[in-house]
Structure 1
Amino acid sequence: MKSTITIDVELDQNRVPENIEWRATESTTEGAQKAKAVMLSLWDGTDKTALRIDLWTQEMMIDEMADFYYQTLMTMADTFSRATRQAELVDEMKNFAKSFYTKFREQQMKEQKAG
């Protein structure tokens, strides 16, 4: 069995993503789905390095980026838990994610009051 995930990125004249769409052969959704951002990490077992692609459109708002990072950090912790069963480290990762998000929200509130 084979599954294919396709990510299409339309770039503007400065090579900045204008539109991101993705589709998967195993998806129940018909057609491409829009996304404002994508993070893709691949592990190169030979070189023991992580390869990353991080893209976002100009439509991606700062608060959406913070939500995206918070949710990504939380799901990374869940994945690490399933892979390793290292509960203490998972708790640390989740606590960091919560702290990050709390600090972001506090900073946003300060900026709104100052503005």
Structure 2
Amino acid sequence: MKKSTITIDVQMDENRVPDSIHWKATESTADNAQKAKAMMVSFWDSADKAALRIDLWTKDMMIDEMADFFYQTLMTMADTYGRATKYADQVTEMKTFAKEFYKKFQAKQLEENKAG
């Protein structure tokens, strides 16, 4: 059986706020650890029927980057759910929600830029 390892290194400041996130995977073609400003990792605990999550972002993650990250994550989650279930109607609903979420973010940004 083949084994793959993913290593995540998080450097934190004195208040335990992430300064940097780097990750490396044995199956990656990259030679060096890759930098990231945010991460979301979820594990399914079938015994407790609960999702266990690690959500981290660095202090230099901008709000527009967070919105992009969530939009892309929601779209990817919809695709994953579709491959697992074949429920195209729910995939469409999830993607519609993601698009509306992103449009609302953009409108909020325009409103704040006009006010500021």
- TM-score of the superposed pair, with normalisation by structure 1: 0.99
Distance 1:67 1:56 in 2: 13
Pairing of 1:17-28 with structure 2 (within 5 A)? 17-28=18-29
% of aligned pairs identical?
69
Output the CA distance in 1 between the equivalents of 2:78 and 2:41: 16
Partner of 2:99: 98
Matches within 5 A, 1:23-102: 23-102=24-103
Deviation at 1:30, TM superposition (A): 0.4
Query: Which residue does the alignment assign to 1:6?
Result: 7
Q: What SS does structure 2 have at the residue aligned with 1:40? A: strand
How far 1:31 sits from its partner (Å)?
1.1
Tell me the distance in 2 between the aligned counterparts of 1:31 and 1:83.
32
Report the counterpart of residue 114 of structure 2 in structure 1.
113
Q: Which runs of 5+ in 1 are unaligned?
A: none
CA deviation vs aligned residue, 1:17-56 (integer Å, no higher than 9, x gap) = 0010000000000010000000000000111000010000
Q: Distance in 2 between matches of 1:97 and 1:30?
A: 34
Q: Quote how far apart the aligned CAs of 1:11 are.
A: 0.7
* TM-score in terms of structure 2 length: 0.98
Distance in 1 (alpha carbons) for counterparts of 2:13 and 2:115: 34
Distance between the aligned counterparts of 2:102 and 2:32, measured in 1? 33
Deviations 1:59-107 (A, max 9, x none): 1000000000000000000000000000000000000000000000000
Structure 1 moving runs of 4+ over 3 Å? none
Partners of 2:47 and 2:33 lie apart in 1 by: 33
Unaligned stretches of 5+ in structure 2?
none
